[in-house]
Structures are given as structure tokens and as C-alpha cells.
Chains A and B, each alone.
Chain A
Amino acid sequence: MPKIIIDSKEIEFKQGQTIIEAARENGIDIPHFCWHPKLSVSGNCRVCLVEVEKMPKLVISCATLAADGMVVNTRSEKTLSARRAVMEFILINHPLDCPICDEAGECKLQDYAYSHSVGESRFVEEKAHNIKRTEIGPRIMFDAERCISCSRCIRFSSEIAGANQLTFTKRGDRVTISTFPGESFDNPYSMNTVDICPVGALTNKDFRFKSRVWEMSATKSICTGCSRGCNIDIWVRNNKIMRLTPRNNEQVNADWMCDNGRINSFKFVNAEDRIDSVQVRKEGFLQPVTWEEGIKTAAVSLKKFKPHEIAFIGSPYATNEDNYLMAKLAKALGVQNISIIQHSVEGDCDDILIREDKTPNLTGAALAGIRPNYNGFSLNQLVDGIRQKKIKAVYIIEDDLYSIAGADEKAFANLELLIVNSSNRNKTTLSADIVFPASTFAEKNGTFVNFAGVVQRIRPAVATAEMDRALDGMEMSKWDKFGTKFDRWMQGEKKDAKPTWRIITQIGEQLGMKFKYEMAENVFDEMSGAIKEFAGTDYDKIGSEGLKLKSEKIAVNV
């Protein structure tokens, strides 16, 4: 292996790597604005200048290939003074917007101004002014004054998103980013530019001014928007989700996520239509009852029916643990009619991230024992069976019966018992006999298996009534840590919901089965013993990066 010496540290590198890449792999951070590991090199910010021995001038480390025996100095006086000069130039026309800028706190320019700049400007003239607050796209605000013309967003939209939508216009201090005339910056991955923008020039319209970044806690989780299972951070403040951002995972989503997942896959967690108590139908009306009464009623009602009169519907939105326990309960009761509803949107996919299957865990549910057409039992048979009064009771988790293709208003009128675990109100919960409020993906532990067979963990970011941020080891902001029950920010609503696996555990216990699960991890440990695809895995091994399951081919349709 060829070797390079950076800051008197000898490191090995691969032929073809640039200095900045070699340095980064070995934990040496060279400041950079325009360089991004996933994008082509543009070399226009000049802040990554380094001194290389025997070269007459400083070179930009992002565009200079490392060569065997090269001696690089990133901290010499010559390098530092060049860096300070570059920072001074960049800051000349950058407005002092930090107090009103959403990027503040995670801004590269702010960080470098602190660590690589002198702290004051010699520029006394009027700064160049430019247009502020422009809607450059339907989901993005553009502030031309803040832009430092690094061209990351331009390169992202052409190289990663495959949509040549942005370009530089004008020259000198008037240079700015623009879409082509009459066009809007609206590609389905446009909001990734907000993340890679080193300043606050591009900001998220959905998150605009909602919170300062240091006031939130970030929890590692998985996007539930489609079966890709992009790794995300859930940002929470006052027990409410504020935004989602992609988290690096090379085998799943690299550094990106789609706009739809980012904006739409968490809104239901904070929504008005969350179910806030256990409900049982009495005298024709759904009435709130205690958890004990609800569980008892469910168990007693299920017992009234013969196994072949009952159908269990799992969910591709629920975790492996939830589906596994549902299958286990079905087995214990002798129920053969098991199915799951698929939510695919034909044609709504691309070869970047977006998948046709709009659920996060269809593969996982199949592995856990709940698959479409299980034992030849199809959804059509379910609808027909209910019509012909062969199937009299249905237990469905985290899904809507009415989303079955061809199921109209009257399709389920003959049901004598409908039990549902659901986080939000829908047609099924309105016509149900027993409703359990279920925790959403942001409120529980669990695992999903994406379309490619990568098992990944979700973690609770929002606390429900049964949880406590500190005691349950959830991520906490400074305010969460030091708040008391008398502080307004600690009085954010806690939903009285439980994860589906716990609800099923309690029903199982009530039915006299040996369901002893204290936490989701217990369920997963049992799964890893019982299901060959999960053999040898556990929560620690899955970690935050996920684990590719060994099985060659994971068949969803049997």
C-alpha cells in the first residue's frame, strides 16, 4: 500500500484517493465546504487548502490525488493563514443572520468561523445584498444572501437525484443559485440539499422556525414511508416530532432520503386523530374503558368463536415483534385464517430509493409468520367469508380493513366481533367493537426488515403514558434532562398507547397462555431462536447500522 504523511502521521491510502479522503479515513479532519464524499469534486470553496512539501503553492486537498511519499501539513502557519484568509473572504458578504437562521447550531460556516477564523472582519463597506426568502421549490426556501456558492446543491440534483434543476447565474459577488426559467426545484429528493447545504441558504419549509436544533433530541430510527427503510434521526422537542433527517447507512440509503418520507411519514404521530383510550362498544357506542377491562373483554369475546370463524390480519406497518406475537396468538388459538394487507402503489418507484411497496415491514411480517395468502387464505376469501358469515370475528393490527381492494361500506357489516389495534382513527376503528390505542413506530422498540432483507431497529423517540424518558433510556435534550413536572415543556401530551406486542401479550396472558415478555427485545430473542432467518441475531448485533439477513431469497408471497 502506498503511504502518505499527513501532519507527521504516516497513513496508508488506496491509489486514486485524494488527500482529503485519505485524511478523513484516518480521523484527520480538513475543513471543507464544497467537497462532499458522495459528490463530484468542484474545488471552489478553497477552504481545504493544505501545504504539500516540495510544491510551490498550497493545494486544495479535495482535488489533489495522494501520492506515495507525499508529505502534507494541514496545520502549518502557511496553511492556517490561508484558511483564515479564505474564511474572511467567504464571510465578507455573508449576512449576520444566525439569530433568525434555521441552520444555526448545525452550520458548517458557523462552526468554521469559530474554529478557523479570526473572529472579526476588516470589511467596513456595505455587504452585498440579495433576495431573501424565495420559494425555490415547493418544499424549500432559498435565501440568496446566505449562499456561499459551494455548488453542493447543484451537484446533488444532477448527480444523485438525476434532475438537472439548479444552476449558478450571474458573476462575482452577485452569483446566485437559480432554477431554469419557469421551473421549480421540485424533484422527489430535493430536501437532501437542505442537509448538505453548509449554510442556511436552503431551508426546510416544513420545519421552518419550528425549533432550534439544540433544543431537540435525536433518536436513531427507520423511515416507514416505503420498504427501503431509510435510516433516519427523529428530532423531538417537548415530546413532539419536529423533523426527520437521513442518517448514513451505506447498505440502505447512503446519506439520503426522499421528500415524501421526510415530510409525510411522521405527521400521524402528532395528529389530532390519535386514539386516546381503550374503547369497547356498549349499547351500540364505543365507550372508553380501562386497559384491564379492554383486555379482558377482548379475551372473553375471542373465546366465544370457533378457530375457523376467526381471522387474524397482521400489518406491514407493525414491527416483526408485533407480527410474530400475532402469529403466535393465532397458533395458540388454532386460528388458520391469517393474512396481511399489502399497500403497493404501482409505478411509484425509481432506482434511487423510492419503492412501490409503501410499507416498511412486509418482508419482516412474512418472516414472522404473517404473509399474504398464508395457507391459501387470501383477502378475497376473507371478504367473501365475512359476507357468507363463515368468518365472524376479525382481529386486525395497525391497518385499515377498508383498504382491502373491493371492500365497500357493507363488506364487514356481518362481523360479530372486530378487534383492532390502531394508533389513529380510521374506518375500521369506527366500526370496531374493541379498539386498543397502539403505539406508533416512533413510540416503541422493534425491528423492521426492508425489501432487501436488512433487519433494522426502531427506537422510541416520543414517550407514551407508560414511558419515562430517563428511565426508559430514551434520547434526551438538555430541557428533558432538567425539566420538572411544573415546567410547561414537560407537559407535552403523552398518549395512552401501548405497543401492539404488549397488547397481544396481555390478551394472551388473559387467555391463559404463557406469554412472558417484558420488552420488545424478549420477543426478538425468542424469534431469533424460532425463525431460521433471524438465527444468531440480537438487538446489540443489529445496532444502529442494521444486519443483512443471510437467507438467499426471502419470499413474501407463498
Chain B
Amino acid sequence: MSGMKRKKDLTFLQRIYLPEIVKGLKLTLTNMFRPNVTLQYPEQKFTPPASYRGRPVLVEDKGNAERCVACGLCARVCPALAIEVQASETENEKERYPVKFEINMLRCIFCGFCEEVCPEEAIVMSKDYELVFSKRSDAIYGKDKLLVPIDNLKDRLEFLRNFK
């Protein structure tokens, strides 16, 4: 590299490096006194915003009734075939309800298509991101695990109303 010439020689200040070291130390020191963003999970938990797509859940309306009418559109649209629905007849006005509603959380890819396609706003994405299973069959969530009272989902339902 003997043939190469510097475009510009370093100045005296640059050559002694001291101002740059001070600059670096300044950045380090400011960050040292900034508030901490790291969460000490699992002692501390992350509360996601309403736009977050956690595991899909079924909305349980007031009076312990699911909104779902088992139309099967979520199962149809699901790109990962995670959802299985079996409908049956009820006496109430909606005529049908899901006698079985299962989501295989190992198949689910959290895309939110089921929520988007649902004509009854019955399936929504929750803030739950903690999914742990010890065997395959545990990953299939039935109605018992999927139904969530509407009061716990207000955030998401409002978000959907505004942005869907």
C-alpha cells in the first residue's frame, strides 16, 4: 500500500484521540443513567399493546355464552389448518354453536386471519404469548382454554373497531 496517499492528513486534535475518547465516554455515561428497558422475564412480564397478535381466543359474551356460531370460516381460512370446529344446534336465536372448537397451538402461526374473517367478532388475538406444553396433545386447546370473558378483551375489540 505504499503508493496510496491520504487525502488529508489528520489534524493535531485528531491525532491525539482525546476528544473522541471523551465523546465515547460521554455516550456511555448518558446511557448508564438512562431508565432500564430490559425486562427481568419471567419475574417481570411484558404487557403488549392492543395491536399485538398473541394466541387466538374466543370471546365469551356477558351471560357465559360464546359469540361463535361455528360457521367454520376461521378453519377454512387458517393457512396452517390449526382450527377444527364442530357445529351443533341450539335453541337460542343464533341456531348454531360450536360443540367442539379446537386450536392446535403447534400449528397456529399467529397470522390473525381467523380474527379478520370472523363474521361475529367471536375469535380475536389476545395478549397471551406464553404457550408452554410438555406433549403434543396438550397443545390442542379446547373451548375450556379458548373462552375468555369479554371484559378482558376490550382493548383488542376496540382496536379492531378502529383499524380493521
Interface set of A (CB-CB < 8 Å, partner B): 96, 98-100, 104, 132-133, 208-210, 212, 214-215, 478-479, 482-483, 486-489
Contacts and interface: CB of A to CB of B under 8 A. Distances in A.
A93 to B, nearest CB: 18
Given A133-B95, A209-B96, A488-B102, A482 B81 contact: yes
Nearest to B68: A99
A488 B140 contact: yes
Nearest to B94: A100
Interface of B: 69-73, 75-76, 81, 84, 87-89, 94-96, 102, 104, 107, 119-120, 136, 140
Nearest to B89: A209
B73 A479 contact: no
Nearest to A96: B119
A209 B88 CA distance: 6
B81 A99 contact: no
B57 to A, nearest CB: 19
Nearest to B119: A99
Given A483-B81, A487-B84, A488-B140, 17 more contacts: A99-B119, A100-B94, A100-B96, A104-B71, A133-B95, A209-B70, A209-B87, A209-B88, A209-B89, A215-B72, A215-B76, A479-B81, A482-B81, A487-B81, A487-B107, A488-B84, A489-B84
A489 B140 CA distance: 12
Contacts of B140: 488
B104 A487 contact: yes
A398 B3 CA distance: 99
Dominant SS among interface residues on chain B: mixed
In the complex, which of the residues B84, B104, B140 has the most CB atoms of chain A within 10 Å of its own CB atom? B84
23 contacts: A98-B71, A98-B119, A99-B69, A99-B71, A99-B73, A99-B119, A100-B69, A100-B71, A100-B94, A100-B96, A208-B89, A209-B89, A214-B76, A215-B72, A215-B75, A215-B76, A486-B136, A487-B81, A487-B84, A487-B104, A488-B84, A488-B104, A489-B84
Contacts of B94: 100
A489 B100 CA distance: 12
A459 to B, nearest CB: 25
Nearest to A209: B87
Contacts of B102: 488
A210 B136 CA distance: 27
A100 B89 CA distance: 10
Contacts of B73: 99
Given A208-B89, A214-B76, A488-B102, A99 B84 contact: no
A525 B119 CA distance: 53
A470 to B, nearest CB: 16
Contact of B76 (A96, A98, A210, A212): A212
A96 B84 CA distance: 23
A151 B88 CA distance: 29
A134 to B, nearest CB: 12
A300 B96 CA distance: 56
A36 B71 CA distance: 29
